A and B are shown apart, each in its own frame.
Chain A
Amino acid sequence: AQSVAQPEDQVNVAEGNPLTVKCTYSVSGNPYLFWYVQYPNRGLQFLLKYITGDNLVKGSYGFEAEFNKSQTSFHLKKPSALVSDSALYFCAVRDYNFNKFYFGSGTKLNVKP
């Protein structure tokens, strides 16, 4: 069965500092991994994906994620956080049958001025 885990309910970081939001996954077969962001009362917005290739994936709004097969992790990173990055972040894995995304429980990112 496919699943993802986000071990931190909340991450606090000061504006300008680097941020990391953690995600680990469990899949049978090749992992197809995604990060989404959700602002209050809005749907989820796609940030980036890992399908194959380079382990460092770059996405929207300056975010990047590092795929680590040995640690089964796909952590989201940004070199310099902005207050506007404060939101709920979800890691997801797509089922090898293509038709389901399994989402983590989400991590609330708080960036303080």
Chain B
Amino acid sequence: DIVMTQSPDSLAVSLGERATINCKSSQSVLHSSNNKNYLAWYQQKPGHPPKLIIYWASTRESGVPDRFSGSGSGTDFTLTISSLQAEDVAVYYCQQYYSDTPITFGQGTRLEIK
């Protein structure tokens, strides 16, 4: 199985400041055939299901604010929120889909307001 490890486990950032969440995979999720990274990011607000925010490591889902961006390649990835808003308080998960059996998620990073 591809193990996804996120850091930190929790993060407190002031409103308007930058938030950075990291995700590391135990093996590369970069597919050589199309040079794409098979990684997604989800946001889960309290009491709600996960919501897709990024796929292909850096493609923002339709309707997601442009303060959210994804970067990285191979085994190391980053989700950045450029200017934290109150509504961004959530747990964020990365997911690899390079291997479809099993699909695996990171353990989550809890983002709070400082």
* A, B from the same assembly: no
Residues of chain B having any CB pair with chain A under 8 Å: none
